[in-house]
Amino acid sequence: MSKLFATKPISQLLSESKSDQGLRRTLSATNLTTLGVGAVIGAGIFVLTGQAAAQYAGPAIVISFLISGFACLLAGLCYAEFASMIPISGSAYTYAYATMGEFIAWIIGWDLILEYLFAASTVAVGWSGYVVSFLKDFGIFIPAQFTAAFGTVLVDIPQIGWKTLTPELTKNLADSGIFTENLPHLSAILNLPAMFIVAAVTILLLVGIRESTRFNNLMVIIKVSIILLFIAIGAFFVTKANWHPFIPENTGEWGHYGWSGIFRGAAVIFFAYIGFDAVSTAAQESKNPQRDLPIGILGSLGISTVLYILMAIVLTGIVSYSFLNVSDPIAVGVDAMGKGLFWLRPIIKIAAIAGLSSVILVLLMGQPRIFFAMSKDGLLPPIFSKVHPRFKTPFASTIITGSVAFVLAGVLPINILGELVSIGTLLAFAIVCVGIVILRVKRPDIKRTFKTPFSPFVPLLGAGICVLQMLSLPLDTWLRLIVWMALGIAIYFAYGIRKSKLRQ
């Protein structure tokens, strides 16, 4: 048991961070901040803001964003301390290895696959929806059976088009006098647009980190500019009556408006903040990681939180929250401004496509670098730490990650992917927060260029909030997590524990 919880010496980690392991150091603090913004600003701002307001919190979705943002801030402060102290690829995996031992490190490394690889597939499905809608505006139609997960039942609704058949949709249409059994049906085969974007981003990541960050910077500029444009124009169309009541009265069901709805909304939109920790996976490609990583992590989190709150305030002021339970709530807001601003609708879709593209890129960049660190430690086969001689990228793990995400994006529905991502990320954040407390006690002598304030209060509060949000997730999600972890533990005892370089 002592071997399972043997920690990797901090001195060894620092030595590895300074040595040339084949990755090219090209990223500045600005690059790292845009990577974080690129990972965070995506489906959350273009979809979840409106949906969570409509279903759970009403205009008080602003408070939900503050709660989730606060939880991420606590975790972000802990990430920043670790990143400045142990500037090496691997994110929470490396931090756990230094504080809680190899077995816990393996658990968190395996868990991070849920955050990065599955999240990339999830966002790719969302990207597909916006692209299909954007092309449709120009008279370009992709056959419906190639725009959804394998086996998904689609129904053709008059004047709307093909939509996924769900009990909620059936009920809503029936209330309007439309019965789905009388409409054309078909079963989807593959989500080809989602598979396309995963393949394209994987190829870009193979070429090099510099080229990838340039693409990400461009996407971030496009989406942030258009978001600010929407906020600036939308502010003139706000009707204060749409904010009343600010906290809608609870319906008698927990989580459906009222304060319980605000807290449930916070748990749901937590997905919107997933990805800021991807900054820490680029430690070995940062020019000055001790200084730049905390700036990138906290800077991207702060920028994203401000944008989320401003968007929530303006959107719920333009349109009553009851009309925002749609896949494109921002487009609904544009429509409410009047026909004179209809030109903004395709621009919003371009922003969404750009935003989701950058999220996919950052997530598919992070996962191979976690595999790279685990392979360097001997816990995964050597192929995962192979670096391309010309491009200086972990090409083998990038290809493997991209290939798996390619298949997942094509065949799995977005709801299953999204639930796994949320619980995996919350677990990672909780372990990082606890790790700070452990290392402050065990190794107070280590040089820290950034310190989490008010420790151990801030780390323990961060871990507690993450665990509470995990407990609010459905039982099915927990069962999938348990099965996934059981598979990972089996692999560790079959391969990792025997090949670990820590015991060689």
One-letter amino acid at 242 equals: N
Out of 21-30, 87-96, 148-157, 441-450, least confident range: 21-30
Q: What is the pLDDT of residue 327?
A: 60
Mean pLDDT of the chain: 82
Sign of CA dihedral 280, 281, 284, 287: negative
**195 has pLDDT over 90:** yes
CA distances from 466 to 71, 372, 428, 461 (A): 7, 27, 9, 9
- Mean of the pLDDT values across residues 196-222? 83
**487 has pLDDT over 90:** yes
Q: What is the pLDDT of residue 362?
A: 80
One-letter amino acid at 108 equals: I
Q: What is the pLDDT of residue 313?
A: 92
User: Residue 191 carries which DSSP code?
Assistant: B
Question: Whose CA is closest to 350, among 235, 232, 163, 225?
Answer: 225
Q: What is the pLDDT of residue 461?
A: 94
Write a three-state SS string for 278-341. HHHHHHHHECCHHHHHHHHHHHHHHHHHHHHHHHHHHHHHHCCHHHCCCCCHHHHHHHHCCHHH
Q: What is the pLDDT of residue 232?
A: 92
Q: What is the pLDDT of residue 492?
A: 92
Structure tokens at 44: 């959350």
Question: Whose CA is closest to 128, among 43, 63, 192?
Answer: 192
Instruction: Between 197 and 288, name the one with better pLDDT.
Output: 197
**21 has pLDDT over 60:** no
Instruction: Between 15 and 319, name the one with better pLDDT.
Output: 319
Per the CB < 8 A criterion, the answer to whether 255 and 264 are in contact is yes
**Cα angle vertex 50, ends 47, 54, to 5°?**
135
Q: Which residues contact 345 (CB under 8 A, 6 or more apart)?
A: 137, 331, 334, 335
pLDDT, tens only, 307-359: 989 999 999 999 888 877 766 678 778 878 887 888 888 888 888 888 888 88
**Cα angle vertex 247, ends 241, 249, to 5°?**
105
Q: Give the integer Cα–Cα distance in Å for 53 and 30.
A: 33
- By DSSP bridging, strand 153-157 and strand 161-164 are antiparallel
Per the CB < 8 A criterion, the answer to whether 91 and 366 are in contact is yes
Q: Where are the domains of the chain?
A: 10-142+190-503, 153-187
Q: What is the pLDDT of residue 269?
A: 77
**19 has pLDDT over 60:** no
Question: Whose CA is closest to 286, among 365, 359, 209?
Answer: 209
Q: Give the integer Cα–Cα distance in Å for 494 and 499.
A: 10
Q: What is the pLDDT of residue 481?
A: 86
Edge-to-edge order in the sheet of strand 161-164: 161-164, 153-157, 185-187
Structure tokens at 149: 């997960």
| Cα atoms in the Cβ-side hemisphere of radius 13 Å centred on 462 | 31
- Mean of the pLDDT values across residues 469-495? 86
Instruction: Between 273 and 353, name the one with better pLDDT.
Output: 353
Per the CB < 8 A criterion, the answer to whether 41 and 272 are in contact is no
Residues above pLDDT 90, as percent of the chain: 12
* CATH fold of the domain at 10-142+190-503: Amino acid/polyamine transporter I (1.20.1740)
Determine which helix (DSSP H) or strand (DSSP E) holds 367, and give its type and residue range.
helix 344-376
The number of helices, as runs of H, and strands, as runs of E, in the chain is 19, 3
**90 has pLDDT over 60:** no
pTM: 0.80
Q: What is the pLDDT of residue 8?
A: 79
**161 has pLDDT over 60:** yes
User: Residue 242 carries which DSSP code?
Assistant: G
Q: What is the pLDDT of residue 491?
A: 92
Q: What is the pLDDT of residue 469?
A: 77
Q: What is the pLDDT of residue 233?
A: 92
Based on its alpha-carbon atoms, the radius of gyration of the chain, rounded to whole angstroms, reads 22
Q: What is the pLDDT of residue 486?
A: 93
